[in-house]
Amino acid sequence: MTVVRVADASGGWELAHGAPAPILSGTVRRICGYVERTGAPLRRSELPEAAVTVILSLGPRMRIDGARHDSFVAALYDRPALTEHDGVQHGLELKLSPPGARRLLGVPLGELHNATVPLDVVLDTGTLLEELAEAPDWETRFARVDAELTRRLAAAPAPHPAVRAAWRALVASRGTVAIGQLADELGWSRRHLAARFREDVGASPKFLARLLRFEHATERIRAGATALGDVALACGYYDQAHLNREVREFTGGAPRALRGS
């Protein structure tokens, strides 16, 4: 586990990163703990990604697109979400793979598209949040979350093996594998593959591939890539015009704006 702390005149922040338990590989993409004090209200635009966000809140409420939330689930978005807090936020953030979210939450993601809902609407957390609040350190909190997710995963039905294999191929290729190729390798039609994804995940493989490509392009642009034509080709777009269209679809802006997002 790594913990980074930064202090400044307005307050500062603390981030804790840890690796999920091995059994959660493929289900939990990332987990982190955070404390942020800004001394004033702060607003951010959160970009779409191929992950479902679960916030286990240990502090004041946040606002998501204007609605106040404690702990919540933010499902797959095809547009940015506006997050705001009044100067302090504290909690744990889980990034779940779409198939993993379907298993752990028991809700098809299609029912939550472009939506943020209170955590207790989809999941009975019992005493988990109280235990996390009372825990003495991040290591104890991460261990408790690992145990809870492992227990829930063991009790949840697994997705169809072909859906699991197709999702892994999408992730490995960062969304560039052709959906037709995936279907052929599975011995399914594209229509059947899409239907099984919607049933087991709640989103089509095409939409998830688009999100994965967008994530990859965003990472490269934020890392300093300036030749957008090269970014487009590296991330599986036909050309720069295709990249421009996808970025505008997901963000409402041009690719260069991603550098400051």
CATH number at residue 95: 2.60.120.10
- pLDDT reported for residue 233: 95
Same domain, 142 and 20: yes
Domain shared by 105 and 6, yes or no: yes
> Can you give the pLDDT at residue 246?
96
pLDDT, tens only, 83-98: 999 999 999 999 999 9
Judge if 14 and 140 occupy the same domain: yes
- Asked whether residue 148 falls in the same domain as residue 226, the answer is no
Q: What is the mean pLDDT of residues 114-140?
A: 95
Domain C-terminal end among 139, 155, 171: 155
Six token digits for residue 254? 């041009």
Per-residue pLDDT of 213-258, as tens digits, reads 999 999 999 999 889 999 999 999 999 999 999 999 999 998 888 8
Residue 27 contacts residue 96 (beta carbons within 8 Å): yes
Residues 115 and 178 in one domain: no
Torsion angle, alpha carbons of 115, 118, 123, 124, to 10: -170
Query: Residue 260 pLDDT > 70, yes or no?
Result: no
Q: What is the Cα–Cα distance from 192 to 118, expressed in whole angstroms?
A: 33
Which two tokens mark 99? 């198939």
DSSP state of 26: T
User: Three-state SS for 99?
Assistant: helix
- For residues 24 and 146, membership in a common domain is answered with yes
Task: Point out the domain boundary residue: 155, 181, 214.
Answer: 155
Domain co-membership, 65 together with 84: yes
Q: Tell me what the mean pLDDT of segment 199-211 comes to.
A: 92
pLDDT in tens, 134-184: 999 999 999 999 999 999 999 998 888 999 999 999 999 999 999 999 999
Domain that holds residue 70: 2-155
Question: Are 192 and 244 in the same domain?
Answer: yes
Decide if 179 contacts 206 (C-beta within 8 A). Answer: yes
pLDDT at 202: 83
If pLDDT is split at 50, 70 and 90, which confidence band does 100 have? very high
Asked whether residue 16 falls in the same domain as residue 114, the answer is yes
CATH code assigned at 241: 1.10.10.60
Count CB atoms within 10 A of the CB of residue 42: 17
Average pLDDT, the chain: 93
pLDDT recorded at residue 200:
84
**Rounded CA separation 260/247 (Å):** 14
CA neighbor of 220 nearest in space, from 235, 241, 242: 235
Strand partners of residue 74 = 53, 116
Distance CA 247, CA 203 (A): 19
pLDDT bracket for residue 14 (50, 70, 90): very high
Q: Calculate what percentage of the chain has a pLDDT beyond 90.
A: 80
Per-residue pLDDT at 66: 94
- Number of domains observed in the structure of the chain: 2
Same domain, 169 and 151: no
25 lies in the same domain as 148: yes
Report how far residue 71's alpha carbon sits from residue 117's, in angstroms, rounded to the nearest whole number: 9
Question: 227 and 110 in one domain?
Answer: no
Domain boundary among 155, 189, 214: 155
Residues 99, 124: Cα–Cα separation, whole Å = 19
